Structure 1
Amino acid sequence: MDFKVGEKAVHPYHGVGEVTAVETKEIAGHKKTFYILRIVESGMKVMVPTDAAQRIGLRAVISKKEADKVLAVLKDTKFAVTAQPWNRRQREYVEMLKSGSPVEVAKVLRDLTRLKSDKDLSFGERRLLDQARSLLVTELALARRCKEDRVEAEIQGILAS
């Protein structure tokens, strides 16, 4: 998938970013082309080699239809991860987040939110919960062409029920 300057792309770990430039740099005597992304949430600059973008998991923002499927995952009552103790569970959640799949990220958000209502989360789990929420809210707002606050409220409503 080729991205043009000004387009939005989703980095599996950092979230939604805007392609601000496509630059060629010389590294160790070899010329390599990079997408320069400015991550929407943090403003961080990320360089992704164009020839490795697919392998890394750089992808386009999901469609409105796909966004509706992601919201449906939040309504599901099953737990995606049932591993015990917390460090095994955390390892599985990290892998799900790294996948870059919005459906997997939604499962992490759903599971950890439900778990939080039953017991205190570990520091690592709280961090994963915040990361999952951040990744999902930004992309869903873009996909549904609405403000992040509205998506956040909708997610809270789904998870509270």
Structure 2
Amino acid sequence: MFQIGDKVLYPMQGVGVIENIEEKEVLGIKKLYYTLNMPQNNLQIMIPIEKAEALGIRQIIKPDILETILTDFHHGNTDPIIYEDRRYCRNVNKNKMKTGDIYKEIEIIRDLMRKSQKNKLGLEDTNMLKSARRMFISEIMQVKGIAQDQADHLLDEVLLAQ
């Protein structure tokens, strides 16, 4: 269970801060909810506590893990099918994104960048890459305590260092 003030990643949305934990009655059923403030999207979201794990909500990563991820960003193989089959690529990446797993998020960015070097990305791939970057950048910002343009620049440097 998270606490008020915890910084968490909400898949497909980015990093948010738990501002409140409160009981609400919806359709006659009382449940505990997290209230997340999503500053990057200027949103406030309420999530039932019992669904948080299933939704992939997790604590943001620790600074040492971020450094390891940035250092090892280009390690790993890309599934060759993503170069040929757009539907497969879309489904694999959508499933990875929904998990909230930082390593899956990195695979999306890494693999779509590799794909973009071979072929021009289609609209779905471009949008997926933007979403994965946005989520990762929101986490970099919180972990390092830096502004969005600095986090963007840091990721771009890592991507160019192939």
- Whether 2:70 is the aligned partner of 1:71: answer yes
SS in 2 for 1:153: helix
How many Å separate the matches in 2 of 1:36 and 1:81? 41
Provide the identity percentage. Answer: 22
**Residues 81 and 88, structure 2, Cα contact 8 Å, conserved in 1:** no
What residue in structure 2 maps to residue 111 of structure 1? 111
1:77 deviates by 5.8
Q: Which runs of 5+ in 1 are unaligned?
A: none
What residue in structure 2 maps to residue 141 of structure 1? 141
Once the two structures are superposed, the pairs formed by residues 32-51 of structure 1 within 5 Å of their partners are 32-51=31-50
CA RMSD of aligned residues (A): 1.7
How many Å separate the matches in 1 of 2:106 and 2:71? 9
Structure 1 stretches (4+) deviating beyond 6 angstroms?
Answer: none
What is the number of equivalent residue pairs in this alignment? 160
What residue in structure 2 maps to residue 54 of structure 1? 53
SS in 1 for 2:53: helix
**Residues 55 and 99, structure 2, Cα contact 8 Å, conserved in 1:** no
1:149 deviates by 2.2
CA shift digits 1:21-53 (9 cap, x unpaired):
222211121111111112122112211111222
Cα 1:79–1:73 shift into 2, 3 Å: farther
Q: Which runs of 5+ in 2 are unaligned?
A: none
Cα 1:59–1:136 shift into 2, 3 Å: same
How many Å separate the matches in 2 of 1:98 and 1:69? 23
1:109 deviates by 0.7
What residue in structure 1 maps to residue 98 of structure 2? 98
How many Å separate the matches in 2 of 1:149 and 1:75? 22
CA shift digits 1:74-95 (9 cap, x unpaired):
2226215634311111110111
